[in-house]
């Protein structure tokens, strides 16, 4: 069994690492936030004091980090980075959501050192990560994919090999454009229904029975914002970051995406008004507040209230 390193133990990374520990893997763990590292150690992980120590103790190093700049620094930076002490034959799997340019850069840097690289960004929510039900979009050659597949099968329930290096990152941006933009469209739709004085359940009956339905409205929102829960599984701040990646990547590729740009501005407005740390389903609350409306909520006897 290969030795695994895990760098980045936040809301998504910690449950993924924990699921690997539960299946008997030995994990060398590191995070700059001591509290998160302590939780990983309590779950059976081995405490490391630096990125270099993780590399020294691992065959496969997994990263789950907040943004492109940190991914570049941790994997290919000048000091205490993975590649500063990596050996040929090791493998780096980055599960962060970053720009295509970042993935291409770190993949090339790994190749120069004889280190295999896999990009495997994550779909679905933190609650899915808790249960080992994440979805992974994987960019890798066949050998790298085969090597990480047993790990991905523990951390997730759906794994898609999207192509070579960078294909996972690019697929993630396509997916996140839709998943995040739906939140703003849903918020506008339910705000309009609220202004019309329509009942929430009857509105959902119609929306769920037509092609207007989408996964955010039908699957995520009844358990989150419509149930009064805006605790972050995926924050508005992070959603704004991802939409910025989408818009910037589209500009680089000369692809017009006016709806992505509009959605990003709506998320910018929500952040400016103090909603950045809330779950991205709270775009409903941000938009109804902006329009002087009460935020719709499921009643206790609603058929859509989670059981």
Rounded distance between C-alpha atoms, residue 103 and residue 75, angstroms: 10
Rounded distance between C-alpha atoms, residue 10 and residue 111, angstroms: 28
Torsions phi, psi of 135, nearest 5?
Answer: -110, 135
Of 194, 183, 222, 204, the closest CA to residue 288 belongs to 194
Q: Which of 22, 57, 72, 172 does the annotation list as catalytic?
A: 172
| 54 touches 29 (CB < 8 A) | yes
Task: Specify which residues 6 forms β-bridges with.
Answer: 29, 62
CA 87 to chain centre: 29
Query: Which residues touch 82 (CB under 8 Å, ≥6 apart)?
Result: 7, 51, 54, 55, 61, 63, 74, 75, 76, 92, 115
Site of tokens 């701040």: 237
Rounded distance between C-alpha atoms, residue 287 and residue 266, angstroms: 9
- Pure H helices in the chain: 13-22, 34-42, 51-56, 68-76, 82-85, 100-112, 126-130, 142-155, 167-196, 200-208, 215, 236-252, 258-272, 283-290
Rounded distance between C-alpha atoms, residue 304 and residue 223, angstroms: 9
Rounded distance between C-alpha atoms, residue 134 and residue 207, angstroms: 26
CA 138 to chain centre: 14
172 is catalytic: yes
Of 38, 1, 37, 35, the closest CA to residue 20 belongs to 1
Tell me which residues are annotated as active site.
172
């Amino acid at each position: 069994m290969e030795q695994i390193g895990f760098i980045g133990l936040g809301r998504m990374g910690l449950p993924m690492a924990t699921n690997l520990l539960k299946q008997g893997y030995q994990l060398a763990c590191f995070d700059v936030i001591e509290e998160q590292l302590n939780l990983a150690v309590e779950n059976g992980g081995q405490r490391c004091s630096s990125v270099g120590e993780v590399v020294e103790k691992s065959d496969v190093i997994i990263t789950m980090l907040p943004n492109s700049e940190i991914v570049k620094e941790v994997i290919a930076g000048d000091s205490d980075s993975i590649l500063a002490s990596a050996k040929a034959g090791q493998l780096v799997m980055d599960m962060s959501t970053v720009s295509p340019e970042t993935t291409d850069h770190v993949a090339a840097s790994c190749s120069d050192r004889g280190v295999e690289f896999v990009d495997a960004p994550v779909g679905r929510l933190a609650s899915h990560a808790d249960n080992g039900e994440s979805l992974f979009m994987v960019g890798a050659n066949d050998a790298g994919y085969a090597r990480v597949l047993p790990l991905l099968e523990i951390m997730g329930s759906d794994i898609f090999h999207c192509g070579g290096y960078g294909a996972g990152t690019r697929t993630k941006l396509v997916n996140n454009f839709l998943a995040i933009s739906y939140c703003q469209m849903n918020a506008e739709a339910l705000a309009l229904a609220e202004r019309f004085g329509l009942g929430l359940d009857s509105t959902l009956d119609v929306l769920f029975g037509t092609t207007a339905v989408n996964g955010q409205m039908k699957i995520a929102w009844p358990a989150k914002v419509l149930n009064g829960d805006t605790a972050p599984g995926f924050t508005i701040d992070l959603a704004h970051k991802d939409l910025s990646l989408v818009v910037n990547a589209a500009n680089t590729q000369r692809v017009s995406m006016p709806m992505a740009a509009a959605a990003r501005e709506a998320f910018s407005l929500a952040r400016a008004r103090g909603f950045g740390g809330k779950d991205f389903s709270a775009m409903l609350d941000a938009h109804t507040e902006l329009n002087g409306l009460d935020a719709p909520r499921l009643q206790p006897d609603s058929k859509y209230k989670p059981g």
